[in-house]
Amino acid sequence: MRAALLQITASDDPAGNLRMLLPMLQEAAEGGAELVLTPEVTNCVSASRTHQQGVLRQEGEDTTLAGLRDAASALGIWLLIGSLAVKSEPPEERFANRSFLIDPSGNIAARYDKMHMFDVQVTETETYRESAGFAPGDRAVTAPTPFGMLGLSVCYDVRFPYLYRALAQAGAQILTVPAAFSPATGPGHWEPLLRARAIETGSYVLAPAQTGEHPAQRGRARRTYGHSMAVSPWGEVLVDAGTEPGVVFVDLDPAQVQKARSQVPSLEHDRVFSGPA
């Protein structure tokens, strides 16, 4: 099975981002990808709540979701929209950071709301308060596909290993980690975190990422780390997209999941313990 990761530099203009994505989806499908993945906040990268309030919609009215569903069915591909920022159901006033799995008929096969909020001061000048704008989810999600079971996650989730252990123990073989990773943490943490999640679960990890300097009409411009990555169940980096936007391909073999897990069956070796108190 061939997958494609779309590495993009999304702006804060959802319509422009959709126009940029459609030819990339076409390129991915023409290159033989049966599963295509986009990064976190595919529809809008913005640091301005006022701007987001103006351009973002609930999922039923989200034009990026509608356009990408049409594209998935026109191209006959499975599409993991890493996430869309969408308005929540009232009375929740914050957005949801929601991942969607679209099937080749354009139906929504699964949704997952990012659970861990990036409330972190990464450097003296760079602070993120994701929970001010986004309401966290509270439900882990797996989804069957013809290529195996997906386990969904988003970005900062990657730092919480028990989530991935739960996904793998529930049957997930391919873990998705769409991201908009910070340039401060990316160089030291991105690759080792992804490889660790792959090794400790014996799963493929597919991590499409935002990259570069994101143009913004309102609010300050944001930068992201890039390096969309696919990791094998043995922990090898199969592809690293560097920092330029584009489409990268990776071939997956479900038998590799079985092989890694039978060589090191650590997923079955959990112990129940007391303490440390």
Q: Can residue 181 be called a binding residue for ligand KGT (CB under 6 A)? A: yes
Choosing from 86, 180, 252, 260, the residue that interacts with ligand KGT (CB under 6 A) is 180
Q: What does the alpha-carbon distance between residue 32 and residue 28 come to, in Å, rounded to a whole number? A: 7
Asked about 61 being catalytic, the answer comes back as no
In whole angstroms, the minimum distance from the beta carbon of 159 to ligand KGT comes to 6
Looking up tokens 């126009």, which residue turns up? Answer: 19
Site string for ligand KGT, 112-151 (x = CB under 6 A): ------x---------x-x---------------------
Residue closer to ligand KGT, measured from CB, 147 or 181: 181
Binding window for ligand KGT (CB under 6 A); candidates: 70-78, 180-188, 231-239, 261-269: 180-188
Choosing from 153, 185, 228, 232, the residue that interacts with ligand KGT (CB under 6 A) is 185
Choosing from 5, 24, 36, 45, the residue that interacts with ligand KGT (CB under 6 A) is 45
Binding window for ligand KGT (CB under 6 A); candidates: 69-77, 135-143, 153-161, 227-235: 153-161
Q: What does the alpha-carbon distance between residue 57 and residue 61 come to, in Å, rounded to a whole number? A: 6
Q: Can residue 95 be called a binding residue for ligand KGT (CB under 6 A)? A: no
- Catalytic residue, chosen from 40, 44, 59, 130, is 40
Asked about 155 being catalytic, the answer comes back as yes
189-218: contacts with ligand KGT (CB under 6 A):
189
Instruction: Tokens for 75, please give them.
Output: 């191209």
Residue closer to ligand KGT, measured from CB, 46 or 203: 46
Q: Can residue 159 be called a binding residue for ligand KGT (CB under 6 A)? A: yes
SS (H, E, C) the chain: CEEEEEEECCCCCHHHHHHHHHHHHHHHHHCCCCEEEECCCCCCCCCCHHHHHHHCCEHHHCHHHHHHHHHHHHHCCEEEEEEEEEECCCCCCCEEEEEEEECCCCCEEEEEECCCCCEEECCCCCEEEHHHHECCCCCCCEEEECCEEEEECCHHHHHCHHHHHHHHHCCCCEEECCECCCCCCHHHHHHHHHHHHHHHHCCEEEECEEEEEECCCCCCCEEEECCCEEECCCCCEEEECCCCCEEEEEECCHHHHHHHHHHCCHHHCCCCCCCCC
Asked about 44 being catalytic, the answer comes back as no
CA distance to 75, 78, 130, per residue, from 137 (Å): 31, 23, 13
Residue closer to ligand KGT, measured from CB, 154 or 252: 154
50-79: contacts with ligand KGT (CB under 6 A):
none
Q: Can residue 13 be called a binding residue for ligand KGT (CB under 6 A)? A: no
Indicate which residues carry an active-site annotation. Answer: 40, 114, 155
Q: Which parts of this chain interact with ligand KGT (CB under 6 A)?
A: 40-41, 45, 97, 118, 128, 130, 155-156, 159, 180-182, 185, 189
